[in-house]
């Protein structure tokens, strides 16, 4: 009879320690996941929300407003402003909005730009692009519609470029394609 109690006591002891080890492993995993999530937020997510993405369909005849050194430099290059005006705008770019008439090649009619309003320098960025027809919510672009830039962009600066994105086959004959409304979202940003 005495050996039965030892076996029961040993089983209880074994179950107790197995539960303690199991719970400790679960707590450790939860702490690692929590730390990983916090570290990702600290290093990236809080900065990504400060990267402003703008996608414009040039075929809608627009004048776009862009706040960035890129826009100022581009306006200077095109002769839209003088060197003195560019220097002044660089000094006050956080307070001023530069109106820049964009003109893309008809083969690349979509202007995709971003402004780095974070406190970290961007090394490269991927922007997912979607387009919808007026009054509709379905994305009419192929799934691979993204703009990738490997441009180094310091805080407060921006970059933009003209792109072309393929439409899904079922929308190719739609007469409203030139009126499509484009949006973009930074899905990946590699900061320095």
pLDDT digits (tens, 9 = 90+) for 115-147: 888 889 999 999 999 999 988 999 999 888 898
- Per residue in 161-176, pLDDT (tens digit) is 888 898 998 888 888 8
**Domain spans, the chain:** 1-48, 51-191
Tell me what the mean pLDDT of segment 76-97 comes to.
59
Task: Please spell the DSSP secondary structure of 43-69, one letter per residue.
Answer: IIIHHHTTEEEEEEEGGG---EEE-SH
Q: Could you tell me the strand order of the sheet in which 110-116 lies?
A: 51-57, 110-116, 158-163
**pTM, 2 dp:** 0.63
CB 82 within 8 A of CB 131: no
- Residue 24 Cα to chain centre, angstroms: 37
């Amino acid at each position: 009879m005495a050996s039965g109690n030892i076996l029961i006591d040993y089983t209880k002891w074994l179950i107790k320690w197995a539960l303690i080890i199991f719970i400790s492993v679960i707590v450790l995993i939860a702490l690692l996941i929590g730390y990983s999530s916090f570290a990702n937020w600290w290093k990236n997510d809080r900065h990504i929300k400060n990267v402003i993405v703008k996608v414009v369909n040039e075929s809608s005849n627009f004048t776009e407003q862009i706040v960035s050194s890129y826009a100022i430099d581009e306006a200077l290059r095109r002769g839209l402003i003088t060197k003195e005006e560019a220097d002044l705008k660089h000094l006050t770019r956080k307070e001023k909005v530069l109106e820049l008439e964009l003109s893309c090649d008809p083969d690349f009619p979509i202007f995709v730009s971003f402004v780095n309003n974070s406190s970290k320098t961007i090394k490269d960025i991927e922007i997912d692009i979607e387009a919808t027809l007026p009054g509709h919510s379905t994305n009419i672009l192929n799934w691979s519609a993204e703009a990738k830039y490997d441009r180094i962009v310091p805080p407060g600066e921006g970059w933009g470029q003209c792109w072309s994105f393929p439409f899904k086959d079922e929308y190719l004959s739609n007469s409203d394609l030139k009126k499509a409304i484009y949006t973009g979202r930074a899905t990946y940003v590699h900061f320095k």
